[in-house]
């Protein structure tokens, strides 16, 4: 079984749900507490053993490349002022030379098309996909849990969680065949079904491990839900030939592409921070008291 060394991060999305904040700042760089959403996602990928990150970017996303590069003036200023802790934190996130690639999705044709844009860099090996909208708060991290499950069952895997029956039309939904603990063998999946048509309430959370045979399927994938080329539809076809498991991961997810999800992430992760938790709790309680 080949190890999962590469991860694809589709970061070309327009972020329409968090406008106007995402008009000139990529939504992936909006802050949660004191660092960008993307910083949490990259940390999760590295923890899972990922050695190479492929960002699928688009117009207006150049700040993402700059974020993962030296900022010479800033670093010099921090050094001159003796802010060594902040300087170390900023440098710790920087990639090893060559650890990151950036490829452009030139038209917003959907998640399946975005992943397909990474095919030449991924090549002929299994790879992970992390949707950068979703922060997963978990230990071990969401992708690490999936990589561990991959070590046992191989094939293709996705992270899932339970959603309310009325919410199925916001997510990809799994059609389960059988369940063994946190692992669900799948027989199908469907993108954003109406509640009455949903095969279950297990929703795709935004972490995937896929075999490279997905790429030729995505190349010829027609438009699906929302008029977009859907990754879910490509996976449903790959499932006719290869094994797919869903893992009900242990942890909490925050949809940071959504106003309330972003707010929840900020509050929840501030409350958990050893350096900020007490102050965050006092601030939230004062607000609730009115």
Nearer to ligand G1P, 111 or 157 (CB): 111
Q: Nearest distance from residue 248's CB to ligand G1P, in Å?
A: 14
Q: Nearest distance from residue 277's CB to ligand G1P, in Å?
A: 27
As a dihedral over the C-alpha atoms of residue 200, residue 137, residue 261, residue 267, rounded to 10 degrees, the angle is: 140
Contact status, residue 220 vs residue 240, Cβ threshold 8 Å: no
Nearer to ligand G1P, 116 or 171 (CB): 171
Contact status, residue 185 vs residue 177, Cβ threshold 8 Å: yes
- The CB-nearest residue to ligand G1P is 172
Nearer to ligand G1P, 171 or 249 (CB): 171
Nearer to ligand G1P, 64 or 280 (CB): 64
Nearer to ligand G1P, 171 or 215 (CB): 171
Nearer to ligand G1P, 56 or 280 (CB): 56
Q: Nearest distance from residue 160's CB to ligand G1P, in Å?
A: 9
Q: Nearest distance from residue 99's CB to ligand G1P, in Å?
A: 25
List of residues contacting ligand G1P (CB under 6 A)? 111, 131, 133-134, 171-172, 191, 203-204, 206, 230-232, 255
Q: Nearest distance from residue 229's CB to ligand G1P, in Å?
A: 11
Q: Nearest distance from residue 224's CB to ligand G1P, in Å?
A: 9
What residues have CB less than 8 Å from 31, skipping those under 6 apart? 37, 266
């Amino acid at each position: 079984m080949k190890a999962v060394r590469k991860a694809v991060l589709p970061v070309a999305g327009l972020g329409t749900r968090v406008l106007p904040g995402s008009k000139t700042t990529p939504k992936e760089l909006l802050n949660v507490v004191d660092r960008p959403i993307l910083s949490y996602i990259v940390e999760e990928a590295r923890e899972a053993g990922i050695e190479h990150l492929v960002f699928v970017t688009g117009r207006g996303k150049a700040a993402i490349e700059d974020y993962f590069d030296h900022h010479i003036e800033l670093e010099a200023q921090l050094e001159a002022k003796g802010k060594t802790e902040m300087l170390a934190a900023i440098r710790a996130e920087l990639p090893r030379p060559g650890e990151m690639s950036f490829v452009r999705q030139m038209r917003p044709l959907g998640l399946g098309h975005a992943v397909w844009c990474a095919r030449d860099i991924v090549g002929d090996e299994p790879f992970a996909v992390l949707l950068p909208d979703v922060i997963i708060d978990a230990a071990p991290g969401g992708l690490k849990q999936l990589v561990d499950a991959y070590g046992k069952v191989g094939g293709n895997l996705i992270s899932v969680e339970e959603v309310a029956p009325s919410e199925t039309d916001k997510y990809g939904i799994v059609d389960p065949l059988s369940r063994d603990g946190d692992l669900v063998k799948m027989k199908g999946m469907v993108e954003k079904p109406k509640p009455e048509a949903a095969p279950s309430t297990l929703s795709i959370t935004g972490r995937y491990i896929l075999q490279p045979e997905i790429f030729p399927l995505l190349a010829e994938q027609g438009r699906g839900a929302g008029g977009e080329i859907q990754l879910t539809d490509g996976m449903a076809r790959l499932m006719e030939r290869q094994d797919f498991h869903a893992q009900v991961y242990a942890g909490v997810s925050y949809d940071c592409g959504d106003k309330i999800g972003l707010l929840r992430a900020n509050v929840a992760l501030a409350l958990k921070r050893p350096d900020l938790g007490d102050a965050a709790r006092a601030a939230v309680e004062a607000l609730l008291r009115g």
